[in-house]
Homo-oligomer: A and B are copies of this chain.
């Protein structure tokens, strides 16, 4: 039993991760995953019973990778300005490291909302306290009176969208040199923070 074979399960997961996230559930082929892992196709079914089970494992793992930061943004009791800066920095950093996961999750979610809802119902984050905190800071005159739900969604939108729309943005702005896009994304960590801060925070005289 050499190292290569012994961790076949890890090899499979790694290959499945790549293929599923790149091609999606419908586009992925079991044979391609097997090839990518350098093993026989039957071995996939030996470790994971079906394509669906393997997909579940990949999806949940991908989903959970993005949860902790969101939980921090929602559940921490720091002032919102501080939470926001930390969140945007960490979140964009994570997405840069896993640029295809957001598109993957959103697409599978759209394909089968009710099933994905079941997969995620143990993962739920509680938002009411978050909304209450924002409402409080609005009452305190720290934040302009925007709907807290809109603020949360805007924050996520600004972080996630450039990755979901990467091909078209790159074609428009960086068609000559795609490496510049990474620079652009790096700049976004501070740009997005400044943008939201400028939008919602009331400047004290």
Contact = CB atoms under 8 A, between A and B. Distances in A.
Interface in A106-144: 106-107, 109-111, 113, 116-117, 120, 124-125, 127, 144
Q: Is the interface of A mostly helix, strand, loop or mixed?
A: helix
Number of copies: 2
Interface in A72-114: 100, 103, 106-107, 109-111, 113
Contacts of A120: 168, 171
15 contacts: A24-B24, A27-B111, A100-B110, A106-B165, A113-B167, A117-B167, A146-B191, A147-B187, A149-B184, A154-B158, A154-B195, A156-B165, A160-B161, A164-B164, A199-B199
Given A157-B161, A165-B106, A173 B24 contact: no
A27 B195 CA distance: 38
Interface in A176-203: 184, 187-188, 191-192, 194-196, 198-200
B150 A188 contact: yes
A57 interface: no
Q: How large is the interface on A (under 10, 10 to 19, 20 to 34, 35 or more residues)?
A: 35 or more
A156 B100 CA distance: 19
Nearest to A74: B172
A146 to B, nearest CB: 7
Contact of A156 (B150, B161, B192): B161
